[in-house]
């Protein structure tokens, strides 16, 4: 007899592959609006738990998230598109996966972004996760890269019998801001 939730593990990898294939389909399909993507670093304290306990211990969580938002032509437009994420809790716990992100324009440059996805937890358990981001994420009229800087809250739950959880609240910093000092130094040396 298999553990509850063990039969859904086979759905995670095809789900991720489907999200990536969908992203490629939308990139290859002509749209009136230009797709905009970003890559960001996330850092936060997080709680990890299992066996029905939401928060058994506190760890440092970190990871990278990238998305591609479609259907936007200005700040007031709703955006929808795929995202991928790789994260760790305490530098020993690895999760990776992806799903769909929905950008809701609450204020011109400060939207809410809601992301729902499927993940693989250390190649042993399928999990589901959700993230809510709020911060600066304005539409970039100059190119396809969309800067992000803000706060987020996320939660993940494994679908196996242990039901491991991960809950975090932290900051999201666009990788451009990490690379900018090096780019400026390189330009100054030329």
**DSSP per-residue letters across 69-123:** EBS-SSTTS-EEEEEEEEEEETTTEEEEEEEEEEEE-SSSS--EEEEEEEEEETT
Q: Which stretches of the chain are DSSP H helices?
A: 9-28, 175-189
Confidence of residue 1 (pLDDT cuts 50, 70, 90): very low
**Closest of 60, 67, 62 to residue 35, by C-alpha:** 67
Compute CA 105 distance to the chain's CA centroid, rounded to the nearest angstrom: 18
- Residue 134 CA to residue 150 CA, distance in Å, equals 6
Q: Which two tokens stand for residue 10?
A: 């086979």
SS3 45: strand
For the chain, the C-alpha Rg in angstroms (whole number) is 18
| pLDDT tens readout for residues 92-148 | 889 999 999 999 999 878 999 999 999 999 888 899 999 999 999 888 888 899 889
Across 26-52, average pLDDT: 79
Query: What mean pLDDT value characterizes the chain?
Result: 85
- Residue 7 CA to residue 126 CA, distance in Å, equals 9
| pLDDT tens readout for residues 167-177 | 999 999 999 88
- pLDDT: which is higher, 126 or 14: 126
Place of tokens 């304290």: 45
**What's the residue count for the chain?**
190
With residue 60 as reference, give the H or E element that holds it: strand 57-69
- Residue 144 CA to residue 67 CA, distance in Å, equals 12
Alpha-carbon distance values, 53 to 57, 166, 167 (Å): 10, 10, 11
Q: Which two tokens stand for residue 50?
A: 């299992």
Predicted local confidence at residue 31, as pLDDT: 45
Across 51-80, average pLDDT: 91
């Amino acid at each position: 007899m298999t553990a509850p939730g063990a039969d859904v593990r086979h759905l995670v990898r095809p789900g991720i592959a489907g999200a990536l294939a969908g992203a490629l389909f939308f990139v290859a399909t002509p749209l009136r609006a230009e797709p905009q993507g970003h890559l960001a670093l996330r850092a936060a304290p997080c709680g990890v738990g299992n066996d029905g306990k939401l928060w058994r211990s506190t760890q440092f969580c970190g990871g990278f998230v990238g998305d591609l938002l479609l259907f936007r032509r200005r700040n007031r437009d709703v955006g929808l598109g795929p995202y991928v994420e790789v994260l760790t809790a305490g530098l020993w716990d690895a999760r990776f996966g992806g799903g769909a992100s929905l950008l809701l324009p609450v204020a011109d440059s400060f939207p809410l972004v809601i992301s729902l996805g499927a993940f693989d937890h250390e190649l042993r358990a399928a999990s589901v996760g959700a993230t809510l981001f709020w911060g600066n994420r304005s539409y970039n009229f100059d190119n396809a890269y969309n800067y992000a800087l803000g706060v987020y809250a996320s939660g993940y739950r494994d679908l196996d019998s242990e039901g491991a959880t991960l809950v975090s609240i932290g900051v999201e910093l666009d990788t451009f801001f990490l690379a900018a000092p090096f780019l400026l130094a390189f330009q100054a040396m030329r």
